[in-house]
Amino acid sequence: MSSSSRKSSLNKPLKGRGTGNNLAGRFAITLVEIDENDDAIALLETSSPKTEVRHERAKTLISRNQSPDVPFRQSINPYKGCEHGCIYCFARPSHAYLDLSPGLDFETKLVAKTNAALLFQEELAKPNYRCEPIALGINTDAYQPIEKQLAITRQLLEIALAHHQPISLITKSTLILRDLDILIQMAAKRLIHVAISVTTLDNDLKRILEPRTASGKTRLQVIKKLRKAGIPVTVLIAPIIPFINDNELESIVAACAKVGAQSVNYIMLRLPHEVAPLFEDWLKQHYTERAEHVLKRIMDMRGGKLYDSRFGKRMTGEGVFADLIKQRFHSARRKHGLDNNRLSSLDCRHFKVPPKEGDQMALF
């Protein structure tokens, strides 16, 4: 039985995991209910599972999109699934395509594209490739824990540097500091932008909201170290969740400005597909008395639904509360001198086509 065809009714929090819920993906054909009275199964379901990593030889690497809501048209994701376990992660529904659950499977059954470096060179060398910035790790974090051993992201950065391919990185991990040697060289050639995601400065909230990530204060230190090394850094306050972390908006902007961030943006909570029931389950576990109030406010911003996928609305929401967040954000940004985007543009002018396949090993 595939894990996506199994739905546990024992949706209890698991230590170090974002959810204990292994709800079926939306493409699952069979749904089996587990009897909570079976002690053996109950023990199995509530024990904390270990992380499993499957190595995949991907067929393609660079993805392309036409969304007006994001500032890039090309992206690369070295990994599927993410061990960080952020309950709100908009990428969770993608695990349903693997016949896995967007719940617990998403953060425990990971896929690593082990041939990513070779594919990257091949795709950059295609005759029809036109250089423009590539967003790295936009779906799942390129610096999640398994990157420490696999170093796929580092290999991709080495190739980008060698061929002057501009990269935009987004992460919430301290592991990015491992690659300072490459990032410094890329910054000198205007080939790198880094976005650090800061969701909360409250470590108690962080432990349940995004359990296997660095604390907010640690992320501030990452920003400081990157800026000291001359790396362009912006901050993404994401997601803003009503009555959970929206009260921190101004303090996060202030703290990021203090450590040298050059710009800041925000995204309202998004709950596509299976993320909605997972988040609702999380709310009822950790904020029982507040849960209905939070959900109602989310629906107020999403036209009476938990999610609105329309371009121009899905990132910010609409209505009185969404407008208030927008006003507070812009006021805080102006107060701390971050109202203008001070990041220099990435330079695509010096892109160098990779060598032919027989000469590629000369790079390593």
| pLDDT tens-digit map of 113-161 | 999 999 999 999 999 999 999 999 999 999 999 999 999 999 999 999 9
Sole residue written with tokens 């300072």: 180
Question: Is cis: bond before 13, omega within 30 of 0?
Answer: no
- What DSSP string runs through 212-238? TS--HHHHHHHHHHHHHTT--EEEEEE
The two tokens of residue 115 are 């041939």
Question: How high does pLDDT run on average in the chain?
Answer: 90
pLDDT at residue 67 in the model: 73
Q: Residue 227, exposed/middle/buried by CB under 10 A (0-12, 13-18, 19+)?
A: middle
Tokens of 91: 């990428």
Predicted TM-score of the model (pTM): 0.89
CA–CA gap between residue 330 and residue 18 (Å, rounded): 31
Per-residue model confidence (pLDDT) at position 30: 52
pLDDT for position 341 = 65
Which of 89, 94, 103 lies closest to 12 in space, CA to CA? 103
Q: Identify the pLDDT of residue 25.
A: 83
Element (H, E) at 8: none
User: What pLDDT does 206 receive?
Assistant: 98
pLDDT at res. 276: 97
Query: So what's the pLDDT on residue 45?
Result: 47
239 prior amide bond cis, ω within 30: yes
Q: How many CB atoms lie within 10 A of CB 290?
A: 14
At 340 the pLDDT is 67
pLDDT at residue 344, as a whole number: 84
Any idea which residue has 């292994």 for tokens?
A: 22
Tens digit of each residue's pLDDT (9 = 90 or more) over 17-31 = 999 998 888 877 555
Distance CA 191, CA 149 (A): 25
Q: Within the chain, which residues score under 50 in pLDDT?
A: 1-10, 32, 34-36, 38-46, 362, 364
- Which of these, 118, 180, 109, 186, lies nearest to 143 by C-alpha position? 180
